[in-house]
Amino acid sequence: MSRSGRLAALAAALLLAVPATDIIFANPSSLVDSPGNLLTFHARFSGPEIARILQHGPWPVAAQRDPSNRVSGLPEAIAFGKVLFFEKRLSGNGGSSCATCHLPELDFTDGKARGEGFVLLDRNTPGLLDVRLNRWFGWDGAADSLWAQSLRPIVDRREMAASTTHVGALVRSDPELVAGYRKAFGVPPSGDDEVTLNVGKALAAFQETLESGRTPFDDFRDAVERGDSQAAMRYPAAAQRGLKIFVGKGNCSTCHFGPNFTNGEFGDIGIPYFVAPGQVDPGRYGGIQKLLESRANLLGKYSDDPARSSAAGTRHVRLEHRNWGEFRVPSLRNVAKTAPYMHNGHLATLRDVVRHYSNLNEDRLHADGEKILRPLKLSAAEEDDLVAFLESLTPSHPGSY
């Protein structure tokens, strides 16, 4: 057996042997040779906690083609989509592009509490890194594919306020856009509806390539898997203690699950959802209504997946009262760089988020089934640790875009 194989076997044996007791790494004494890192002893993980840590990786997740988008993964479509993403003429008045709200230098957010188009929007602009891993799109999951989500802002009167006639005419009239379109789709641009739909699919192909890099947490997680305590101890003590809260008493990883730190579904954590006096954002409830009404959902004729197997999730969606005020569980990768937080930008900093969970007002939880949430009543030091952990989900190097 190779050295790494032996260590992995040792780690596995440890997990099996003492599932519920406090264990740390295979050989704690090997941590002593670097006195500065002795603090790593403070984070002692139980077997179940180690198992939870491991399920947050490995990272990155292998790229997969989207079967509903025939140009998914195609270099020519990615290149064309990139041009379109920055193309202001796509908007009705020529004044804004996708990048006006999703700024690459701000990790594809706008840094504002709520998006600003022709009017102030009700919701926060999400970053687009790792967006390919979403099952639903938008805070309410009103779209079930990245291409359908990408069409929405173009024709939304509050965002880019264009029309399919406008998009069709633009793409047909500009020689460079005609050339890009031809390369991506193998045919020249024709009717307005088809051109607009394909613009959405090229935009999706581009956005699928936006991926966040590996983080200090990923290095730690892989070191735990290998049983490599030397590498594991490079992960700061505060982040380790915060991680222990995250996978332990905080129960955070129940919803912020898996390599992308989200179970992909919707939840209610008691963020106020009033948009104006007497007016509420219905969240997932409204999202399901829009999704089922949309001609561009995965059950419809615009999907390129003949078997419609990618529509399995959509087929099973049912409107239920508990969906009121639910919003999508966001990924936490890169989270230190995407403030402000929540569907309406209600919380300005990660410390505010941690305090929200710490002092949770249970009366605010309007949906049922969220019994996992309890006020955590963290000490100031524990709050610091949880923030340090969340910060360690930020890539050590900027992503590749």
Give the Cβ contact number of residue 342 at 10 Å: 20
- Please identify, using beta-carbon distances, which residue of 227 and 340 lies nearer to ligand HEC: 340
CB of 13 to ligand HEC, least distance (A): 31
Under the binding rule (CB under 6 A), the answer on residue 373 touching ligand HEC is yes
Choose the binding region for ligand HEC from 13-21, 22-30, 95-103, 225-233 (rule: CB under 6 A): 95-103
Neighbours of 343 (CB within 10 A): 22
d(CA 357, CA 182): 51
Q: Which of 233, 329, 367, 388 binds ligand HEC (CB under 6 A)?
A: 329
Shortest spacing between CB 382 and ligand HEC, in angstroms:
10
Bridge partners of 266, per DSSP, are: 328
**Beta bridge partners of residue 45, listed in sequence order:** 23
User: Which conformational region is residue 334 in: left (phi greater than 0), alpha (psi within -120 to 50 degrees), or beta?
Assistant: left
Instruction: Tell which positions 259-318 bind ligand HEC, by CB under 6 A.
Output: 267, 269, 271
In sequence order, what are the residues at sequence separation of 6 or more whose Cβ sits closer than 8 angstroms to the Cβ of residue 154?
A: 90, 91, 160, 162, 167, 196, 199, 200
Nearer CB in complex with ligand HEC: 92/330? 330
Q: Which two tokens stand for residue 284?
A: 């997932």
Among 56, 123, 132, 337, binds ligand HEC (CB under 6 A): 123
Angstrom distance (rounded) from CA 334 to CA 382: 21
Cα 388 vs. chain centroid, distance in angstroms? 19
Question: Per-residue contact track with ligand HEC, 9 to 28, x per CB under 6 A?
Answer: --------------------
Please tell me the count of residues contacting ligand HEC according to CB under 6 A: 54
Under the binding rule (CB under 6 A), the answer on residue 353 touching ligand HEC is yes
Closer of 7 and 128 to ligand HEC (Cβ): 128
By CB under 6 A, is residue 131 in contact with ligand HEC? yes
Cβ–Cβ under 8 Å, residues 205 and 389? no
CA pair distance 73, 69, nearest whole angstrom = 9
SS3 label, residue 295: coil
Could you tell me the smallest distance in angstroms from the CB atom of residue 271 to ligand HEC?
Answer: 4
Rounded to whole angstroms, how far apart are CA atoms 304 and 15?
Answer: 45
Name the one range near ligand HEC by CB under 6 A: 72-80, 130-138, 189-197, 218-226: 130-138
Least distance in Å: CB of 188 to ligand HEC? 22
Number of Cβ within a 10 Å radius of residue 283: 26
Report the alpha-carbon distance of residue 388 to residue 72 in Å, rounded: 36
Distance in angstroms (rounded) separating the CA atoms of residues 253 and 118? 37
Q: How far is the CB of 223 from ligand HEC (least distance, A)?
A: 22
Tell which one of 57, 92, 138, 189 touches ligand HEC (CB under 6 A). 138
236 binds ligand HEC (CB under 6 A): no
Angle 292-293-295 from CA coordinates, rounded to 5°? 100
Select 59 or 147, whichever has its Cβ closest to ligand HEC.
147
Helix (H, G, I), strand (E, B) or coil at 230: helix
Which residues, 156 to 185, sit near ligand HEC by CB under 6 A? Answer: 159-160
C-beta of 230 vs 251, nearer to ligand HEC? 251
Q: Which residues bind ligand HEC (CB under 6 A)?
A: 96, 98, 100-102, 115, 117, 121, 123, 125-126, 128, 131, 134, 137-140, 146, 149-150, 153-154, 159-160, 203, 207, 246, 250-252, 254-256, 267, 269, 271, 327, 329-330, 332, 335, 338, 341-343, 353, 357, 370, 372-373, 376, 386, 390
